[in-house]
Amino acid sequence: MPNQLRQVIQSLQLSADQGRHEWLEAMINQIPDYIYAKDLEGRFLFANDAVLRDNGLTELDQLLGKTDFDFHPSEAALKIAAVERQVIETGKPDLGIEELALGSEDRWLMMSRLPLRDMHGRTIGVVGMSRDITDRKKGEQLMQAQARLLELVATGVALDQVLSELILMIEGQADEIAGSVMMKSEDGQYLTLVSAPSLSEFYKQRIRRVPIGPEMGSCGTAAWTNASVTVMDIAHDPLWRNYLHLVEGVNYNACWSTPIRSSRGDVLGTFALYSPHRSAPNGKLNELIGIAAHLAGIAIERRKTEERVQFLATHDRLTGLPNRHSLDVSLEAALASAKQAGTSLALAFLDLDNFKLVNDTLGHAAGDELLKTVAKRIERVINRDSVVGRIGGDEFVIFSKAPGADLPNAMEMFEAVRSAVAEPVTLNGMALEMSCSMGVATYPQHASEAATLLAHADAAMYQAKETGRDSLKLFSSEMAEKTRQKLAGTEDMRRALRENEFLLHFQPQLNQRSAKIVGVEALVRWQYPTRGLISPAEFIPLAEDSGLIVLLGRWVLREACRQCRRWLADAEPGFRVSVNVSARQFKERTIVADVEAALSDAGLSPQNLELEITESLIMQDLPLAIELMNELAAMGVTLSIDDFGTGYSSLAALKRFPVSKLKIDKSFIADIPRDADSMALTSAIITIARSLGLQIVAEGVETEAQVKFLLESGCDHIQGYLVSRPLPPAELSMFINGSTSDIPPLN
């Protein structure tokens, strides 16, 4: 035990024997904390080994009697002296103060100073203790930095800024390291540098884009293998063999790269640390790298999700083209700049010809493939200043954003688009010839508002369709007149609905063997105040087009059910009213609720209602049609396929639908007995339908010869002018209650 300490202890009159002193000294010297005692003048009376080591001393004698002014700059020494003087003067301890160690920027100490008292309680100096809390402090800083980083991610700060903060945070935890974050390119072939705040500019330029693959440096390999890669000596590591030129002139000798992964484990990029020392990261640093890669993953994934959400909000999922909404925005902007610059703008509306046929015959996947191909072809052909967007199933809109694009140039481009779309395309191994119909409208000639411009281009496209498809039409004033008429017609129909101008006629369906009326088909008419009775063929297409068919169809259902209820008392058991259903009623999913409401309003049983559904309705959206048909069939409503033979569905397909009846289209019946093919086809349809357990009704029966043929072929039910034209309910009542015997003698 050094004399000085013994003297101190003796001076403190601590009654201790020699053994205890040695034991005490050994213990104090084992402690990693710093312990010292000073007299009233700040001279060291004692210090343990930790203090000596920290000051670069080996013997206590080198310290005793000296003050902090002998070891530290006077400014720092004055600070210590002030604290100690305070403790001595007040007699109050100064406990648990956290301070940076003298002369250090990153070493933290927790200091405590207490008055040193003699056995009489007099203060004769100060005892100091301090503990190195650098690790704890760094841990706290790391936690704070993580919290801040997550806040930055959450508040949408730019990704490179977030990553740069992350790298600085890790760099702050170890000496002489510099970090980088690289992100995997969309095609998965490359890593691109996103952030590296401390790497040399020179080096950053060289690693802006590096390939991913086996033996592609530390990062390229880590991204390839989805595993950490620790290269301790770049100069001699085989992974860097082909990349040594990158580190020429910079002092990076080790590079440790860790994959940044998404929550699903996919590689999003890499987090790398460079060190001038040929070494591997220690356990603590490895842990930090793991945290950093995880945080970087959160930041990148979050940003990707945001970008995806943003993309989906503005783009069509299938083709990746701008969607209706973003197209509207760019069109408004393009129109505004054309107006400002006093230039023109041409807009084309494109609709594929026979797209539905592709979907129906080759399936939706092939339809989707075709749309993607078309989108790519259009993008390939249009010039850089033009925009193409997909605004509906097979509808595309194209316009030039550059002010001043003159009409002849624009028309030339649109023609090129048409040719590109018409190039042969192979779907499901089948080579197809596609075509499209296009309509063009221009600002300022045809319209000055975006919506009108679109509507006019649409009208021109319809004109192209009507004149044989596969063509391009420029909007004209006659088309404007047609559009105007269409709008006026819709408005007129809306008014007619309000003013109850629609009425129903009913056409009987006869079981020719029993000569009984088994049901009636409800057919709508429009009693126009000035034009008389208008046929549905004239207004149903417009009602379908405008969507008014949903309201009209609801009215028809309700009215037909009510009328059927009135006839039930006189009618044959199993008597049914059949009602035509339009595709729009299915598409807008209103049909099930409408049927329920009509039945309950009329007090009619579902068994007395039949819905006529066309093949084309079913094929427009097969899964939806099957879903709704199942719901309706489950209610007990009978479903029949109307106009059978005019669509594309095969008899075999009928097995998949919950239908119980087939109506053979009148176009087949009309050709009987003139056309042998129609007869053969009709008879085949009847045979197969019967084998499937379906009832068959022949529509449009006008002659005895047709009746004879149908009877021989096994078709029992007929509907047509031969039995009766569609009639107002009052006239039809006579058929039903048997008060007229006008039914022709069929058998």
Ligand X SMILES: Nc1nc2c(ncn2[C@@H]2O[C@@H]3COP(=O)(O)O[C@H]4[C@@H](O)[C@H](n5cnc6c(=O)[nH]c(N)nc65)O[C@@H]4COP(=O)(O)O[C@H]3[C@H]2O)c(=O)[nH]1
| Least Å from the CB of residue 405 to ligand X | 44
Beta-bridge partner residues of 131: 110
Binding mask 571-590 for ligand X (x = CB under 6 A): ---------x-x--------
Sheet holding 395-400, edge to edge: 386-392, 395-400, 345-352, 436-443, 472-474
Q: How far is the CB of 626 from ligand X (least distance, A)?
A: 20
322 φ, ψ (degrees, to nearest 5): -55, 145
Residues 50-79 that bind ligand X (CB under 6 A): none
The reply on whether position 726 binds ligand X by CB under 6 A is yes
Q: Rounded distance, CA 519 to CA 509, Å?
A: 5
If one asks whether residue 297 binds ligand X (CB under 6 A), the answer comes out as: no
The answer to whether residue 642 forms part of the interface with ligand X (CB under 6 A) is: yes
For ligand X, the closer of residues 303 and 666 by Cβ is 666
CA end-to-end span of the chain, whole Å? Answer: 136
Answer for which of 202, 311, 648, 721 binds ligand X (CB under 6 A) is 721
596 binds ligand X (CB under 6 A): no
Contact pattern from residue 94 through residue 133 relative to ligand X, giving x for each residue in contact according to CB under 6 A and a dash for the rest: ----------------------------------------
CB neighbours of residue 542 within 10 Å: 16
3 state SS of 621: coil
Judged by beta carbon, residue 9 or residue 579, the one nearer ligand X is 579
Decide if residue 512 touches ligand X (CB under 6 A): no
When the beta carbons of 195 and 582 are compared against ligand X, the nearer one is 582
Contact 182, 194 (CB under 8 A): yes
Q: Tell which one of 55, 130, 221, 507 touches ligand X (CB under 6 A).
A: 507
Per CB under 6 A, the segment of 17-25, 137-145, 487-495, 718-726 that binds ligand X is: 718-726
| Closest by CA position to 360, among listed 647, 688, 639 | 647
Q: Per CB under 6 A, which region of 7-15, 159-167, 195-203, 531-539 contacts ligand X?
A: 531-539
Closer of 16 and 534 to ligand X (Cβ)? 534
Q: Does 553 bind ligand X (CB under 6 A)?
A: yes
Interacting residue with ligand X among 82, 431, 537, 569 (CB under 6 A): 537
Residue 323 near residue 390, CB atoms below 8 Å: yes
Strand, helix or coil for residue 519: strand
Q: Does 540 bind ligand X (CB under 6 A)?
A: yes
524 or 632: whose CB is closer to ligand X?
A: 524
Kindly state whether residue 509 participates in binding ligand X, applying the rule CB under 6 A. Answer: no
Residues in contact with ligand X, total (CB under 6 A)?
22
By CB under 6 A, is residue 666 in contact with ligand X?
yes
State how beta strands 532-534 and 576-580 pair: unpaired
**What is the DSSP code string of 637-675?**
-EEEEEEETSSS--HHHHTTS---EEEE-HHHHHTTTT-
Half-sphere exposure in the Cβ direction for 555 (13 Å, CA): 20
Under the binding rule (CB under 6 A), the answer on residue 524 touching ligand X is yes
Q: Among 255, 335, 556, 686, which residue interacts with ligand X (rule: CB under 6 A)?
A: 556
Determine, following the binding rule CB under 6 A, whether residue 194 of this chain makes contact with ligand X: no
**Cβ atoms of 610 and 639 closer than 8 Å:** yes
Tell me the three-class secondary structure of 388-411, residue by residue. EEEEECCEEEEEECCCCCCHHHHH
Nearby residues of 519 by Cβ (< 8 Å), 6 or more positions away: 508, 509, 575, 576, 577, 578, 610
Binder to ligand X among 220, 389, 700, 729 (CB under 6 A)? Answer: 700
Q: Say whether residue 519 binds ligand X (CB under 6 A).
A: no
CB 579 within 8 A of CB 560: yes
Binding site for ligand X (CB under 6 A): 507, 523-524, 535-537, 540, 549, 553, 556, 580, 582, 612, 642-643, 666, 700-702, 720-721, 726
